[in-house]
Amino acid sequence: MIKGIIFDIGGILVNVRIKSFFEHFVKQTGFSKEQLYAMIIMGGEWDQFEKGLVTEEQLKIKIERDHGIKPELMDKMASKWRNTLSPVNETIEITKKLKGRYRLFALSNVDRNTTEQCIDRFGFYNHFDGVVLSWKVHMRKPERDIYEYTLKRMGTKPEETVFIDNFPLNLSTAKGMGIHTILYRNPEQLKSELKKLGIKV
């Protein structure tokens, strides 16, 4: 019997199109969008940034040192990026309908500035019994520790819990722990997958 549901935030509750976003900065940097994504997001320093162990200033210094992108341009990129974020109202409506019937938690890899400048203002946190953010707990998906921490806070067992994410890698660890997983594509598909688990929306 399902007692708890965990929602990822980026790409599910908040629209995120980071790869296409980098297209705007190809001319200014001389790098392709794929190169920009690899340099900024796939670098090991980004993991530390989302864990709250490295500041945004420290991240910018490293990117300038390694790739020559000036901090001023990085500031412009960060500002434009955060301005592209918007709530996914259809999925947020699903959380409203589940509230009170299940233990609901949000779990996200996200940095402090993005949380405080954007996500805090979207108004969906009150649908959840708890919110686990990587920068606050110094852990990050797909590390096993962050799932164990979330389950402990929820008070549910793995087999009683569903985890919804739009990245297969983030789901693999959870699935290996015995948590039910749903690879999110869109709100209608999510409703269908929840129904298969006996969860009415």
pLDDT on residue 34: 85
pLDDT on residue 195: 97
pLDDT on residue 121: 85
Q: What is the spatial distance between Cα 157 and Cα 115, in angstroms, rounded to a whole number?
A: 28
Q: Kind of pairing, strands 86-87 and 103-108?
A: unpaired
CATH H-level, domain 4-15+86-196: superfamily: HAD superfamily/HAD-like (3.40.50.1000)
pLDDT on residue 81: 79
Q: What is the spatial distance between Cα 36 and Cα 123, in angstroms, rounded to a whole number?
A: 31
Mean pLDDT by 10 residues, the chain (201 residues): 96 83 78 84 85 92 88 85 89 96 97 87 92 97 97 98 96 98 97 96 91
pLDDT on residue 36: 83
* Torsion angle (degrees, nearest 10) of CA 135, 139, 142, 143: 170
**Domain coordinates in residue numbering, the chain:** 4-15+86-196, 18-84
pLDDT on residue 20: 66
pLDDT on residue 162: 98
pTM given for the model: 0.91
